[in-house]
Structure 1
């Protein structure tokens, strides 16, 4: 449901959901609410889902635009310049390089360490218990 028109009409540039001003996100929520109806009892769940998917959608759209390197019709000239400045900045490049390194490393570490495939119970414990041995949350303990 989030399209270019939603994201850059009437304002911009926004590099990520969390840096988008609250009033702009509320404006997008209102546009969404004008097009879609739901049971009022589901309002909280719908809004949370809208925010989660909106963040992912914005990230995906901007990633594609950045890769392509040309301004799409739905981003105004001023917003495009702001995005280019952000992408060419040292802070963005540093984070991008770190993320690239992280994605390229660390796969299969547990299997190499143990010398065998990891079973699902071991994986769950490794990802849901703190180093101190306590559970990360009550739900994890209940699930196990």
Structure 2
């Protein structure tokens, strides 16, 4: 007994229609009448739209304008830090004299502006991004300046304990190096350094519990968490 096929081509046949290849012109059929669910195209069955470039891709591409690296924003408008800012800051510290700038706070604003002018020679940005770029540069420059001075201080201590003399670092004048060593030798500067070291290696929860270096601004994360207590419960994002 023969079986007549229905109007849509589905009779009593139990085999499913073959999925169309990627080279076909029609949509891919993800369901058949036998399954009890309506046919769906690939777009309706959960395929995602193509996303924008990731932060890593944007950083890796290093788009240039006039030979300088261009600051860019991601798909949600956040300014992305391009590679090379730290190196640029360190090089500008070595090229531009900074008499008396033993810390970033003691560095005159005029010298800081000269550092920023050096930064402009290697990076560029759209005019509306000027404030955000300068804020990002300032944070990076302040951190790199402090790191550089800490490294010089560590090397000086290491050489002194070994009975050796440390030469003036590259890019630093002899006068500045002499003044910097005298600054570090002041009692009040030593006291601040000692307190900072003790704080870094303190154990807030008691001896043997380990040190805590996670901070949230001027307050530690532990103090910040306590300040967010509501009816004795810690918010989920603070656990």
Which shows bigger deviation, 50-59 or 69-78? Answer: 69-78
TM-superposition CA deviations, 1:82-116 (whole Å, max 9, x none): 1101110111101011111112213445xx7xxxx
Q: Is the CA contact (8 Å cut-off) linking 1:15 and 1:83 kept in structure 2?
A: yes
Partner of 1:117: none
- The structure whose residues are more often strand, as a share, is 2
Partner of 1:43: 130
1:129 Cα offset (Å):
6.5
1:12 Cα offset (Å):
2.5
**What's the Cα RMSD here?**
2.8
Larger radius of gyration: 2
- The structure whose residues are more often helix, as a share, is 1
Match runs of 1:1-144 below 5 Å: 1-7=88-94, 9-69=96-156, 70=166, 71-108=168-205, 126-127=223-224, 130=227
Q: Which sections of structure 1, spanning at least 5 residues, go unmatched?
A: 113-122, 135-142
Q: Is the CA contact (8 Å cut-off) linking 2:101 and 2:107 kept in structure 1?
A: yes
Q: Is the CA contact (8 Å cut-off) linking 1:13 and 1:80 kept in structure 2?
A: no
Q: Which sections of structure 2, spanning at least 5 residues, go unmatched?
A: 1-87, 157-165, 210-219, 231-236
TM-score of the aligned structures, taking structure 2 as reference length: 0.45
TM-score of the aligned structures, taking structure 1 as reference length: 0.72
Deviating beyond 2 angstroms after TM superposition, the runs of 4 or more aligned structure 1 residues are: 4-8, 10-13, 106-109, 123-126, 128-131
Distance 1:78 1:104 in 2: 34
- May I ask how many residue pairs the two structures share in their alignment? 124
Higher relative contact order, chain-length normalized (CA < 8 Å, sep 6+): 1
Q: Is the CA contact (8 Å cut-off) linking 1:16 and 1:58 kept in structure 2?
A: yes
